Structure 1
Amino acid sequence: MNLKNKKVLIVGLATTGIPLVKVLKKLGAKVMITDTKSRKELQETTEKLKLTGEELLLGQQLRNLKEAGDPELVILSPGVPTEIPLVLDAKLNGIEVIGEIELAYRLMKGQLVAITGTNGKTTTTALTGEIIKKENPKTHIVGNIGFPMISKVLNSTEEDCFIAEVSSFQLESVKNFRPDIAAILNLTPDHLNRHKTMENYTRCKMNIFSNQRFNDTAIINYDDSFLRDATLHLGARKFYFSRLTPLEEGVFIKSEKITVKTHNKEIAVVDKKDLKILGEHNVENALAATAIAWSLGISIENIRAGLKSFKGVEHRMEVCGEVHGITFINDSKGTNPDASIKAVEAVNDPIILLAGGMDKGSDFEALIDHFPGRVKYLVVYGETAPVIEKTAKEKGFRNTKAVKNLEQAAKFAFDQGVTGDVILLSPACASWDMYSSYEKRGEHFKEIFKKLGRVSDD
């Protein structure tokens, strides 16, 4: 892809912005950047990139290409909606609009594994990457999980393997993006404040398969009937995983063991009890990672070793420790009700649940339905606190408390708790009403845990 002297407009200087600017400049592109944040808010980033004033159009929402300097290519940050006036004007005038993962795909060499789904993406991506690294040291874990894909592609060779966690926001703007192996783990309502309908959300997710051919592989959760039906007519080879159903071909549970079966062999890989990650939802993640690794030709020995050694990812059912016999678990990555349901199901002890955050248009009824016998107290905070508390009371759950912020929630929960209880942060909401990311929210929770521990020791 020749970008030399091409005028490229980056819309939104988010996490992907720094490596994206660096790559574009290395390729000789003339870079312009627009962001609704002010020059002062972005000062640290712009100084790091040594950007000059004429390259920056900050603190405003551009309406058309002319205001943007008539770019020849527009690259969107994942957080930027595709229906803003600038993007619509670009499309109307035949100017290509793509996202960072599309550009990265066009520049990369080697194999690409892409993983999406409503829940489990981060854990499955990290686990898959760790397994494949055991055989191929030139494996890169990229995407939503931490390192933007664009940051790793310029020096890639045919020996490289990219394991990418991709979101519906990223998949919304793909065109040529074609993974050798693509996986959808599950589909439940999420991000409806952005996508408006489940149909739109599903269409974005299904873009992960849109360019695959017969020699590519689609990894699909057989237990998700909606997803199974939605992928009936894919052009790629389908390879299923299932926690509930023995399969003629695929990866499933047999006699409590993760098992791989193809037309001519059946192999028991590892016992469920040997996994270090908690919950049945993590069994599903392990099944998906096994299916991906097997499809890539990774040896059973290395798949087994990776499954046994993997300890999980930060902010996803992360056990912080105990204070006075009360266990604190950080599940800040639980950003929708379905993720929080899985977190609640994974805990065997009485739970005091901390939930709340930015409203994504979610329905919390199913989460409350999982409280009996599991959740003894619900503490809510943030933008969605009134909605969650109202839903709980309408469903007959009265042990609730609304507070202003996460620190108050954790302190109240600790005062209510007794030895053997679990204080579980699984917000069921995005973090953006109070935090810049779920990581920042999880880090704050861990700081609160440490502080409570110190105070209790005094």
Structure 2
Amino acid sequence: MLNEELSNKANIARKNVLIVGLGKSGIAAAQAMIHLKAKVSIQDSKKREEIDTGLLSMFEDQGVKFYLGETPEDMTQFDMLILSPGVSPELPFIQAAKDAGVEVTGELEIAYRVAKGRFVAITGTNGKTTTTTLTGEIFKRAGRTTYVVGNIGNAVIAASEKSKEDDWMVTEASSFQLETTRYFKPVVSAILNVSPDHMNRHHTMGAYIAAKSNIFANQTENDYFVTNMDDPICRKLMEQSRAKVVPFSSTQQLDYGAFVQNGRLVLKKEDGTIVDFLGADEMKIIGDHNIQNALAAAAVSYCAGIDEKTIGDAIRAFGGVEHRLEYCGKIQGVDYYNDSKGTNTDASEIAIKAVGKNIILIAGGDAKGQNFDEFVKYFKGRVKHVMLLGRDAHFIRESAEKTGFSAFTECKDMDDCVKKAFEMAEPGDTVLLSPACASWDMYDNYEQRGDHFKDCVRRLES
């Protein structure tokens, strides 16, 4: 297999490898490289006293060298740098390694090289966690040995090392992971949508789109590329793919691809045959965006050879993912939803539209350089009040006030937000955490933020 050829080509056992970043991805990459008998060093911006001593001892006992709170002076000593997704390739010491001819790559690329299993890869500005999780559920229901990995929270390389030829790696791929790929080639790829995000990292839309496009860059006519006919950028990307393009749409009927016909999710094959999956009203997950997610998951799975009954049954049973419009219960006639994964304006717009009306919105955090002028237009007729949280929440307020919206309360932390929302809410209202911002100003990740929100809601009931 090509993966094995690349793994041999890499000669990992002889390489002096620097892992950059000691998060989940970095730890998994370091463990894999040790197992593959590479000489491993680890760099992290945190100082030694900020890192778990047990973790440090475990690695040091295996001969790992650390650069903590510092960077190596001589980058030419390394054969390869493996960057964690959150690490910018523009950092000076990484650029110095590139200039010296050192290979700079990421965990997803290395995982592909060492894996024996086949890859399905899904990306997009929004919806990729739901679509990846749902696709994984479909594959499992079909009886396939399936690893659901990637940006979803499970390191790709940890699963790829133990994968067998008949196994499937259903992978959520972020732009950060894709920008460091070189040979990565999934059997089925999907881009769900593309809108401005992570501009503080990619700087331009062109660079962001280019990173996303790496998902299909190495595919051939024997592979499949599933993408969104309703998204103008995705339509343009269809022309660049050498793989067989399978479009999906929630707004129009297609001559070929997946769409909604008479209230049912279907796929029309090239010969005109209609494959019927299920009725849209049979789905547990709410919102028009989830119609698109389900169509994408169905198309990906069908391209991978799974039958329509299995696909329909899995979608019918699927209840959604944690932190994405996750229902947290009803208290005194008020519904509470955790949408902490709404880390950009597009994602939060989707959540607001899905809930519909009488919303008390908790929003704010790390704005990532976003402009909120379009986002706040969705408040009209839907959002009653906004609880502002986090470092950049004032940008949301400034944009909204230009439209005449002035129903804001500034909160010091999540407990304060939930408490004040509870005091303000009336029966029939919905308290929605959908920040439209990243969590890094106050939390380690959006999961931690969502868990804090759910804990606050649980305490309301006690």
TM-score of the superposition, structure 1-length normalised? 0.96
The C-alpha deviation readout for 1:174-222, integer Å capped at 9, x for no partner, is 1001111110000010011111111111111111111111111111100
The C-alpha deviation readout for 1:341-374, integer Å capped at 9, x for no partner, is 0000101341000000112011112221111211
Alpha-carbon distance in structure 2 between the residues aligned to 1:17 and 1:188 = 28
SS at match of 1:10: strand
**Pairwise CA distance, 1:108:** 0.6
Alpha-carbon distance in structure 1 between the residues aligned to 2:314 and 2:433 = 28
Would you say 1:419 and 2:430 are equivalent positions? no
Q: 2:31 aligns with which of 13, 22, 27?
A: 22
Match of 2:75 in 1: 65
Alpha-carbon distance in structure 2 between the residues aligned to 1:411 and 1:443 = 16
Alpha-carbon distance in structure 1 between the residues aligned to 2:180 and 2:162 = 24
Alpha-carbon distance in structure 1 between the residues aligned to 2:446 and 2:53 = 21
Alpha-carbon distance in structure 2 between the residues aligned to 1:54 and 1:156 = 26
1:439-458 map, 5 Å? 439-454=447-462
Match of 1:402 in 2: 410
Q: Is the alpha carbon distance of 1:388 and 1:11 closer, same or farther for their aligned partners in structure 2, counting shifts above 3 Å?
A: same
1:2-41 map, 5 Å? 2-41=11-50
Q: 2:395 aligns with which of 387, 398, 405?
A: 387
**Pairwise CA distance, 1:54:** 6.2
**Pairwise CA distance, 1:136:** 3.2
The C-alpha deviation readout for 1:288-344, integer Å capped at 9, x for no partner, is 000001101101110011010000000000010011111110000000000000000
Alpha-carbon distance in structure 1 between the residues aligned to 2:220 and 2:270 = 22
Q: Is the alpha carbon distance of 1:292 and 1:30 closer, same or farther for their aligned partners in structure 2, counting shifts above 3 Å?
A: same
Moved more, 294-303 or 83-92: 83-92
Q: 2:155 aligns with which of 120, 129, 148?
A: 148
SS at match of 1:220: strand
CA contact (8 A) 2:42 2:64 kept: no
Match of 1:98 in 2: 105
Match of 2:178 in 1: 171
Alpha-carbon distance in structure 2 between the residues aligned to 1:48 and 1:247 = 58
Moved more, 263-272 or 213-222: 263-272
Match of 2:256 in 1: 249
CA contact (8 A) 1:214 1:236 kept: yes
CA contact (8 A) 1:64 1:85 kept: no
Alpha-carbon distance in structure 2 between the residues aligned to 1:97 and 1:242 = 37
The C-alpha deviation readout for 1:245-276, integer Å capped at 9, x for no partner, is 10111000011110111023102211111111
Would you say 1:213 and 2:223 are equivalent positions? no
Alpha-carbon distance in structure 2 between the residues aligned to 1:431 and 1:49 = 30
The C-alpha deviation readout for 1:62-108, integer Å capped at 9, x for no partner, is 46515xxx111111111111111222111111111110000000001
Q: 1:227 aligns with which of 216, 222, 234?
A: 234
1:271-420 map, 5 Å? 271-420=279-428
**Pairwise CA distance, 1:230:** 2.9
SS at match of 2:60: coil
Alpha-carbon distance in structure 1 between the residues aligned to 2:119 and 2:325 = 28
Segments of 5+ residues of structure 2 without an aligned counterpart are 1-6
Would you say 1:428 and 2:436 are equivalent positions? yes
**Pairwise CA distance, 1:44:** 4.2
**Pairwise CA distance, 1:45:** 6.0
**Pairwise CA distance, 1:111:** 1.4
Q: Which amino acid aligns with 1:438?
A: Y
Q: Which amino acid aligns with 2:364?
A: G
Alpha-carbon distance in structure 2 between the residues aligned to 1:311 and 1:393 = 37
Q: Is the alpha carbon distance of 1:90 and 1:372 closer, same or farther for their aligned partners in structure 2, counting shifts above 3 Å?
A: same
CA contact (8 A) 2:360 2:431 kept: yes
Segments of 5+ residues of structure 1 without an aligned counterpart are none
Alpha-carbon distance in structure 2 between the residues aligned to 1:136 and 1:49 = 37
Moved more, 56-65 or 79-88: 56-65
Q: Which amino acid aligns with 2:69?
A: G
Alpha-carbon distance in structure 1 between the residues aligned to 2:425 and 2:73 = 53
Aligned residues: 451
CA contact (8 A) 2:269 2:275 kept: no
SS at match of 2:247: strand
Would you say 1:192 and 2:207 are equivalent positions? no
CA contact (8 A) 2:40 2:64 kept: no
CA contact (8 A) 2:22 2:42 kept: yes
Alpha-carbon distance in structure 2 between the residues aligned to 1:115 and 1:432 = 24
SS at match of 1:398: coil
1:251-270 map, 5 Å? 251-264=258-271, 265-270=273-278
**Percent of paired sites with the same residue:** 43
Q: Which amino acid aligns with 1:56?
A: F
CA contact (8 A) 2:367 2:438 kept: yes
The C-alpha deviation readout for 1:399-420, integer Å capped at 9, x for no partner, is 1122222221111111111011
SS at match of 1:391: helix
TM-score of the superposition, structure 2-length normalised? 0.95
CA contact (8 A) 1:22 1:49 kept: no
Alpha-carbon distance in structure 2 between the residues aligned to 1:64 and 1:83 = 17
State the 4+ residue runs in structure 1 displaced beyond 4 angstroms: none
Alpha-carbon distance in structure 1 between the residues aligned to 2:54 and 2:256 = 49
Alpha-carbon distance in structure 2 between the residues aligned to 1:173 and 1:285 = 26
Alpha-carbon distance in structure 2 between the residues aligned to 1:165 and 1:243 = 22
Match of 2:127 in 1: 120
Alpha-carbon distance in structure 1 between the residues aligned to 2:361 and 2:311 = 35
Q: Which amino acid aligns with 2:415?
A: E
CA contact (8 A) 1:18 1:45 kept: no
CA contact (8 A) 2:346 2:436 kept: yes
Alpha-carbon distance in structure 2 between the residues aligned to 1:98 and 1:299 = 36
**Pairwise CA distance, 1:47:** 3.7
Aligned CA RMSD, in angstroms, stands at 1.4
